[in-house]
Amino acid sequence: MSLLHPLQLGPLKLKNAVFMAPLTRCRADNPERLPTALHQEYYAQRATAGLLISEGLPISDRAGGYLFVPGIYTPAQVEAWKAVTTAVKAKGGHFFAQIWHVGRVSHPDLMNGQALLAPSAIATGSKSRTYEGLKLSPVPKAMDQEDIQTVIAQFKQAAANALAAGFDGVELHTSNGYLFHQFFANSANQRQDEYGGSIPNRARFLFEVLEAVQEVCPLERVGLRFNPMLDGHIGIEVDEETIPFFDYLLDKLNDYPLAYVHLTRPGQAFAHRQLAQKEKDPNLFIQDVIGHYRQIYKGVLVANGGYTAQTAQEELAQNRADAIAFGKAFIANPDLVQRMEQNAAWAPWNPNTFYTQGPEGYTDYPFLSEG
């Protein structure tokens, strides 16, 4: 397998196995949370990727946790995304929308004063950036049955909206401590009903969302993203059931004809720092997340997490993954694929402009052809 050779992804023939990972960039600086001409330029610049995955798009006005993030839940947002997907397709690109609910990782100021929603009434202990500065995320409302069914319906509608906007498919953001991950983790889910307690119960919400989404979007156009070893971040803790939970989840997903599963691997230094800080049993952690789940999940596996061109190619050559997703490298290198083809150096990124507004650090990184 080669990073730069075509990849069949369900009905889509991708130009290569280089994916652009979803990246929150905070450029929707308008009250309607619409993507703008700046988004058109940004994504079209990077359309040589085999697959672009959008920044996380909140599925409702109660689903977002960050300022200036565009949504996918209003007709105006859908219409605005059409211009972005058209710009990407004009460059021959393929594009998935990552659809998102942050759960308790937010503040009521960001959702018109509405209470945060989560599996259980447990706060993250972290702060959210609001228009008035950082504020502690409050204790969320434990979702009742009506809340759960409402959010499932919102994911279904968001998937339909994404296809209507011209996206080729959707990625469910089931990772990084947000709503799905909150259902998965004992540290965030202490429910006593069918959505809590046992491993199958804590996975139930995800599978009910998948069942709903497939009514409007074929599962071969649906990807899922996981970060199994996330620990000590926004209230998510690894425990003795974490590995058994994700082993169960990834095995059960073999029954669903998904486009792909997208896994984040922990960096070695990060994993060791976690263990040193937490003083947890090392047996609670999987150091080689990609290798471990390659043995369990039989579908298309996308790996993410600090890859270089060389280590990415090695991962594919050893059949440990089918595609590699790059995040910060794509921020600073809109022509990342061309740089790989020419074995050219990668430009460095500027973290100070990751989450600012405007074109600086967004659409002004140079191409090789510009010197």
Task: Give the residue numbers annotated as catalytic, written as ranges.
Answer: 178
Q: Indicate the residue type of 314.
A: E
Rg (CA), the chain: 19
Q: Indicate the residue type of 247.
A: D
Q: Hey, what's the torsion of the CAs at 177, 182, 188, 189, to 10 degrees? A: -170
Kindly state the tokens that stand for 197.
């307690």
**Would you give the distance in Å from CA 352 to the centre of its chain?**
21
Roughly what angle, to the nearest 10 degrees, separates helices 75-90 and 145-164? Answer: 40
| Cα separation values, 129 from 107, 109, 243, 354, Å | 8, 10, 32, 15
* Cα(315)–Cα(9) distance, integer angstroms: 18
Kindly state the tokens that stand for 285.
């952690």
For 22, phi and psi rounded to 5 degrees? -65, 135
| Cα separation values, 126 from 78, 135, 139, 217, 261, Å | 32, 9, 11, 35, 28
Q: Decide if 119 contacts 173 (C-beta within 8 A).
A: no
| Cα separation values, 83 from 1, 44, 135, 222, Å | 34, 11, 35, 22
Residue listed under structure tokens 């486009």: 259
* Cα(165)–Cα(99) distance, integer angstroms: 13
End-to-end CA distance of the chain: 31
